[in-house]
Structure 1
Amino acid sequence: MDDTKPHSDDAPPSTWKHGDSLGAAAVSERKDDAIVARAVTINRPVAEVFAYFRDFANLPTFMENVERIDILSDTRSHWVVKAPAGKTVEWDAVVTEETQDSVIAWTSEPGADVANSGRVEFRDAGARGTVVMATIAYDPPAGIVGKLIAKMFQREPAIQARRDLRRFKQLMETGEIATAAMNRKQREEEMA
């Protein structure tokens, strides 16, 4: 396949069958990074999905491990994220590319606890709504050992990306996120 032509596959770059299978040039140029790509179709208009996601203060509502995001400017934000063993990691991120209702790309600034970069694309899927494709590159602390520890504690980005996109879909389509947790009344009835 000629890699100079635009890619026609609408799958996340890491799953492309032909061409630059990592699509990594747009996400990361660091060779040791782990690349994660996930996609979901959300039954809402692309403008609505993009607007909700672009307000970074909304992200902790569906990103389970994000404790908070402080907005520093239109293009910079400070992230505090849960890590294994009750720890947190922090970094400042800068938006490197943005096209209204289409794409948001970012990279962490130097000194990040976890160096990362990524790209989220929003594509109109007609009557089906919006396809959201997230591709994230990250450099796990302590390399492969850190990645294995994160996986054991369910804090590994590949696991979280899938869960977070599923929660984003639920929130955008229904206004709430389904949970298996029992509410107080259910707990009291079970204890009786």
Structure 2
Amino acid sequence: MTQTEITAAMTRHDELSAATTRRTDMAREPGRSPVNVRTTERALAGLAGVGLIIYGLGRSNVLVGLGLAAAGGALLYRSKTGYCPLYNKMGVNTARQGSATATDYFEQGVHVQCAYLVARPAADLYTFWRAFENLPRFMKHLDRVEALGDTRSRWTAKGPMGQKFSWVAEIIHDQPNELIAWRSMPGADVDNAGTVRFIERGEETEVSVTLDYIPPAGAVGKVIAQLFGKEPHQTIDEDLRRFKQLHEAGEVTRAK
């Protein structure tokens, strides 16, 4: 199945969800701006705002300190009201209900592709990956994955400053020994969709991962990710390297 076919399957899934899930417009209270910032982002903005204010007020350069404190105040405003003027101008609403659409991923998301050759049969690698509870063994950004049935599971990821984000994922396409495709369900802290392909190449198997996700802090999340961690592609690359080591050496070799 090609990426285009998987996208089409996701679109059909959206149409089915739309028929059974009531979607609402942005929440609006009389005399107040619309809420366009999701709960998780508001919590992060509050933490970052307090940090910037404290850091700014402690700077010896008064102008720089006041600027940082003002930026912190803006983040606290976003946290308290759930409203971001920039998002409003851009037409972005991370507080929307329902699953992220293909347009959401294109406009707000991060796209990552990575592949490794692993010296194991495709069937073995597929079986290991299909049990999503195994993913935290090599994906260091995941805290745990709990099975909720044959096609659904709850994922919990580690975020900056000890924050944790969780979502329920559903398998939308499953070809034994060849491909697994999944996407997050409505209400996810981190909207995401991914595929992993297992392609036998002689005595090795190419494990190819495609991941699309919308950072917890919307478009600003790309900057936050760089401040608190690594580039998304580097993170997935290291995850697959650990996956390769786990299956070829039986353990993950950690750099000293």
TM range (shorter): 0.7 to 0.9
Which structure 1 segments of 5+ residues have no match? Answer: 1-5, 8-12, 14-19, 182-192
Aligned-pair Cα RMSD in Å:
2.1
Match of 2:221 in 1: 146
Given that 1:141 and 1:147 are in contact with CA atoms closer than 8 Å, whether structure 2 keeps it comes out as no
Q: Specify which structure has the higher proportion of strand.
A: 1
Shift of 1:159: 2.6
8 Å Cα contact 1:84/1:155 also seen in 2: no
What amino acid is aligned across from residue 138 of structure 1 in structure 2?
Answer: Y
* 1:146-185 aligned within 5 A: 146-154=221-229, 156-181=231-256
Task: For residues 146-183 of structure 1, give each alpha carbon's deviation from its aligned partner in whole angstroms, at most 9, with x where no partner exists.
Answer: 111112222653232111000000001000000124xx
Gaps of 5+ in 2: 11-100
Of 25, 40, 46, the residue aligned with 2:7 is 25
3-state secondary structure, aligned to 1:57: helix
Is the helix fraction higher in 1 or 2? 2
Query: Could you say which structure has the greater relative contact order, defined with CA pairs below 8 angstroms and 6 or more residues apart?
Result: 1
Quote the sequence identity (%). 41
> How much does 1:119 deviate?
0.6
Query: In 1, Cα distance between the equivalents of 2:117 and 2:125?
Result: 11
Structure 2 matches for 1:98-177, cutoff 5 A?
Answer: 98-127=174-203, 129-154=204-229, 156-177=231-252
Shift of 1:126: 1.0
Call closer, same or farther: CA 1:155–1:113 in 2, change over 3 Å. Answer: farther
SS of 1:120's partner is strand
Following the alignment from structure 1 to structure 2, what is the Cα–Cα distance between the partners of residues 155 and 140? 13
Distance of aligned partners of 1:146 and 1:165 in 2 relative to their CA distance in 1, 3 Å threshold: same
CA distance in 1, matches of 2:172, 2:219: 27
Which one has a bigger Cα radius of gyration?
Answer: 2
Which residue identity is paired with 2:247?
Answer: M
The total of aligned residue pairs comes to 162
Q: Report the TM-score when normalising by structure 2.
A: 0.59
Distance 1:71 1:155, change over 3 A: farther
How far does the alpha carbon of each residue in 1:114-169 deviate from its partner, in whole angstroms, 9 at most, with x for none? 10001111100112x10011001111122232111112222653232111000000
Structure 1: how far apart are the matches of 2:233 and 2:216? 15
TM-score of the superposition, structure 1-length normalised?
A: 0.78
Report what 1:43 is aligned to: 119
Distance 2:240 2:160 in 1: 21
